[in-house]
Chain A
Amino acid sequence: MGRAETDGFDAFYRDTSRRLLRYAYGLAGEAGEAQDLVQEAYARAWQHWRAVRGYENAEAWLRVVVTRLATDRWRKLGVRRAAAARARPPAEIPAPSEDTVVLVAALRTLPAAQRRALTLHYLLDRSLTEIAEETGSTVGTVKSWLHRGRLALAAALGDDVHDLVTGGSDAR
């Protein structure tokens, strides 16, 4: 890779990595795993940078990679996580809040599609249309995912969901 390509990748990384980490955190629910997902996704982007840089929405492509990595049921975590655990001083990552811990536990009970939709909606502020485009589904399906996801979260959290009752913010 030449200097210009490196600079271009670095700029892309600086512009998008924080959002991608937010997304990965929403899917993975764990800081170390989110970092690993993000690192792996960008490593793949760098590996194919000449193609990726030409994508209409390279950031969405990265989210797809993270989604795939996070939901690859055969992706064995053991060794990678063992290595990551040894490498990453826990002190560098602040402990999650109580809300986060509870929410992550509830999210883990959801099917991947619902979790993905909720993460895009709440953490990245994506509209129904944008989520539908990114997931290759319809707006109606996305609505269904969000609705059922909230119900499932309510059940897991043991109560009604406030923004479901009040209508939420799906109108975006």
Chain B
Amino acid sequence: MPVDLDRMFASLGTDADSVPVPDIASVRSRGNRRRAYQALSVTAAACVAVALVVGGVTALRRTLPVVDVMGGAGSGFAASGPVRFIPLRTVGAPLAFDEPLWFDVSAPGPGRPAAAVVDDRAVLTWQRTDGTVMMGAASLPSGQRLFGPVPVGRYDSWSVTVLSTGILVDGIRADGVPTDAVSRTISWLDRDNGTTRWQLDLPPAKVNVVLARSAIVVASLPQGDLRGIDWTTGQTLWTVTSTGPGRAALGMNTQFDLVPPDPGPAWRTPVLTTDSVVQVSANGVLRLYDARTGQQVGQRQGTGEEVAAFDGIVYSVVADPFRLLSYSVDNQQPVRVVYQAPAGTTFLRSPVPCGAGRICLIEDRTAGGLAVAVDLTTGDRRVLTSTIAGDTLQAVGDRVLLDGRGNGRPALLDPAGRDPMPLAPAGAPAYAARVGPTAVLSFAFAPGPSVPTGDELTDLWVYGIYPEDGSLRPLGKVIVQASGCSFDNRYLVCPTRTGLGIWQFAG
């Protein structure tokens, strides 16, 4: 009997029409919370370009990563030298934590496991079916167990930032409300045993948290108050009160800051190498603070929607037509139109310096988008490639990395006009990230028509690429949950079937 698609789709439509639309108040609330917490979601995505891990570690997970891997704010974080690739070498035996890590990924369930590596250790985090977040750690380079499994809290969504000095857990308990969390707690854990050193409850929808080099800065948006929290003790170092209602607070990034690939629904915050924090008031006044003391060191009237802040310069976007502006908070540089996008642009994002006198960015459009390079002197625009949702740019030497997160086809783009450099074998969905200052790691799945989610155990081929020669160096194959992997400049760590897998990929 032939299949009647009209009838079947009509049935699908009828079923869809029986699903209640979300409550509008909760939608606005979710939007407001995004504005508050992740005001900088665009910022973070934009910052990826210049911020992803120079000398630190980066996370492979994309949108809802459980663990952010940071190189250690305030603790010896430094850019490192070039990466020298070697064939993958297994470190120790895969470390088991004596409980199941995987569940049915096609159904609602706990968050997927995620690994992190920083300094001399690798950390694995996973969630039990009751919502309890668990953690375990192994030492490098031996692969021996350090601690775990230990419970670190029960959350609906959370992020874990692993630092050289400890582990920061930012957890939300939705308590049955998926979009409007009712409690938020940040906890500082001992990195040697996972025990909680201090804990701080925050009003969930009314604060921004900026992880500066010397302090955690908590910005209360309704009042505009700022509070500096000591990383290791949780004690309040300073407070600033009554600056008026705030819209956001963001860190002034440098190219050495570690910014998550995507902030995602878990509230992930970049760890700064500086102590410069920008507070944006409700009426658009930008104030620059020193996170060490709480002293205000600059102020000016902002304009547009702030999307990034690098090296003293704030970038913002204004509409009608869409333009990217730049200016300094300390009033030393006036507002300047960096770029005006052509008609049809629906937003500008991911600005990243890409060579002398150039900036690269993504022009979002209703259908797809474009990665473009703009000459800051002449305003000339060169289209580098088409983009789709989720694509972000990162600077890699004089090239720009399109990470492939959106379409599974990562490439190194050349703002000067050379052909894009593919970063995976033809037909193999892949994604890529910078490792070290100028090298790239690429992770390819088996060839196929679609890009795997990476949430299930799968074969993953690892390649090292030096942009200067462009060749793919096969480093080896692993069987891992790719979305939970992380790496630093030497080690790749991933959830495996038995627990935590560790491989060395660079000498």
Residues of A with Cβ closer than 8 Å to B?
Answer: 6, 9-10, 13-14, 17-18, 21-22, 25-26, 31-32, 34-36, 38-40, 42-51, 54-55, 57, 60-61, 64-65, 67-69, 71-88, 92-94, 96-97, 99-100, 102-104, 111-112, 118, 122-123, 133-137, 150, 153-154, 157-165, 168-169
Contacts and interface: CB of A to CB of B under 8 A. Distances in A.
A126 B389 CA distance: 22
Contacts of B12: 25-26, 96, 99-100, 103-104, 122-123
A81 B108 contact: yes
A112 B3 contact: no
Contact of A75 (B63, B127, B429): B63
B9 A73 contact: no
A73 B454 contact: yes
Query: Which 10 pairs of residues, A with B, have the shortest CB-CB distance?
Result: A74-B62, A68-B389, A136-B367, A46-B31, A85-B108, A25-B16, A76-B64, A122-B9, A99-B11, A43-B30
A73 B452 contact: yes
B295 interface: no
Given A39-B179, A123-B13, A94 B264 contact: no
B177 interface: yes
5 contacts: A46-B28, A51-B346, A73-B454, A112-B450, A123-B12
Contact of A51 (B63, B319, B454): B319
Contacts of B7: 99
A64 B364 CA distance: 10
Contacts of A22: 13, 16-17
B406 interface: yes
Interface string B204-236: 000000000000000000000000000000000
Interface stretch (B77-85, B87-95, B109-117): B109-117
Given A43-B34, A87-B174, A159-B3, A74 B13 contact: no
B483 interface: yes
Given A75-B64, A79-B111, 6 more contacts: A71-B389, A74-B62, A76-B483, A80-B64, A111-B450, A123-B13
A65 B110 CA distance: 25
Interface of B: 1-9, 11-22, 24, 26-28, 30-32, 34-35, 61-66, 105, 107-112, 127, 131, 156-158, 174, 176-179, 261-262, 264-266, 305, 319-320, 346-347, 365-368, 388-390, 405-406, 408, 429, 431, 449-455, 483
A164 B145 CA distance: 59
A44 B27 CA distance: 9
A38 B27 CA distance: 9
Contacts of B431: 74
Contacts of A137: 367
B8 A102 contact: yes
A150 to B, nearest CB: 6
B64 A78 contact: yes
B3 A157 contact: yes
B5 A153 contact: yes
Contacts of A6: 28
A82 B110 contact: yes
Given A74-B483, A79-B64, A133-B367, A17 B178 contact: no
Contact of B15 (A18, A48, A51, A97): A97
A99 B3 CA distance: 10
A54 B13 CA distance: 29
Most central of B17, B21, B107, B127 by chain A CB within 10 Å:
B21
A111 B448 CA distance: 10
A103 B127 contact: no
B174 A74 contact: no
A17 B66 CA distance: 31
Given A78-B455, A102-B8, A43 B64 contact: no
B367 A44 contact: no
Given A25-B19, A47-B34, A80 B11 contact: no
B1 A159 contact: yes
B388 A68 contact: yes
Given A78-B110, A103-B9, A38 B21 contact: yes
A13 B449 contact: no
A36 B19 CA distance: 12
A50 B129 CA distance: 41
B34 A76 contact: no
A167 B15 CA distance: 26
A150 B19 CA distance: 26
Given A35-B22, A46-B31, A81-B109, A96 B4 contact: no
B31 A93 contact: no
Contact of A74 (B265, B365, B450, B454): B454
Given A103-B8, A160-B3, A82 B131 contact: yes
A18 B6 CA distance: 20
